[in-house]
Structure 1
Amino acid sequence: MHAITFEKGRDESGLRVYRHLPGENVAVTRNWAGLYEAWPDADTTPSPWPINNAVPEELAVYAGLAWRLTDGFARYAIPGYYRDEAQRLLQREPVFVDWEYEVDATGLTAETRDKGFVPARAMVRIRPKPTPWEREHAKHAGLFVLDSPRDLLSALRAVHGDASGAVTIFAVAPGAERFTRLVEALRGPECPRLADVLGEDGLLVDVTFGEDLGNYHSLTVASATDLGGTLDTLAAEYTRRVEAYEARVDEIADMAGFRRAMAQLSGIDPDAA
């Protein structure tokens, strides 16, 4: 295992930015062998955990840390590129926005990873022929409400299957007025400033993960307020969770046991509010 740590800095507007950039030194180094084996079809219970042998257990760590960090906020997420798959899995309509936050999974440093806001885009199929609606909304990202940890896990599942995937969470004060301001900040012809999108009360948490070689995981957190102490506490807790998981990983006998282990590793109940 490798300890979870965050680099601390500020962006050009003065926002506090915290980055977990593990590179090759991912948190979980002893993976469950069952991720690399063929299993019989007898256990058909759907797993909420978007984990496989390309993106193993550290994604549960990132999901849990992101959810715990945003406790008490209203959470809204943009799943990168695979907007319509996220809509299918979440079973809810998104709000269309014009801008999304981009983290380049191929970069190893803050300077090469963090691209800031870029024009939104969504996947448009080639065959069968895309519908007029799909073409019309090809340059819109989807902003989804996250009501439970399962929603976050579903959003992460939606962006699986490419060289990398990303879900950006905007955590703001609850209420319709604050949500309207968030949406308005992510719309329009002018590229928004992150400080203006978050304001004094908002928080960004980006979860980016690599699946192919040359793509790397990261957690990016931005806020006007000082979260250093909170992140240090959470990082230490999740480092202990990883250590405990690796100590018992060889005892996991089946998928049911793995699902229980992921709940313990992540520190979240998928169906908790």
Structure 2
Amino acid sequence: MTRVTAARAGMFLRPLATLAGLVVLWWGLGRWGGIPPYMLPPPDAVARALWTGRAQLLPAALTTGEETLLGLALGIGAGSALAVAMALWAPLRRWVMPMVLFSQAVPVFALAPLLVLWFGFGMASKVVMAVLVIFFPVTSALGDGLRQTEAGWMDLARTMGATRLRVLLHVRLPAAMPSFASGVRMATAIAPIGAVVGEWVGASSGLGFLMQTANTRFQTDLMFAALAVLAAMTVLLWWGVDRLLARALYWQPRHEDID
């Protein structure tokens, strides 16, 4: 087995071993920790809830997944557009960036009721919430990448007669792609938060709505099952986006694949 193959196998085995250890710890706390099942259901009860509640969990997961993907796409697009606009026109950054920071200073729980009031109980309010959650990481990461372009590259492009737009498209944007990729990875990991928070405040479907309903009925095992589905969805989404970014930025070294 080559070092690269062993490293890739370790990428899957290490998380599985960590997950198995957490499940054993969870089972031990429930069995010997004196925690009642309605507060911490045992892993086998959650597994049964995953199977018996699949008719509820599947449509709820599809709803939350759709909200998350739409919010992710719109948030990445809007954040990227704003970062590029601020790079092209410096005064825009001084005017707009404080408002972007303010949007992150306000807790999402405080904004969720307003968004439900403005956009209704349907999918729109959850998508907007997801956009607000991921907007700042994308804008900040791409903006930093655009501002930190190697000065020598830009001087060379201008010496060769490149316009400001061409410098942006052919020098600054390619150089900023690693920073942008980091922002997208972070946005992918937190995008479901916005959708679920919106579902907690007001919704008729989704994993957040299902968790809230199960909590009011003391169906803790179903609530944990919905949480497990949400965690699995988030991990799979992040892994898929990470793979896409790795292929798109094939020229960027990924040392964890060869160490």
The normalised TM-score by structure 1 is 0.24
Bigger proportion of residues as strand: 1
Bigger proportion of residues as helix: 2
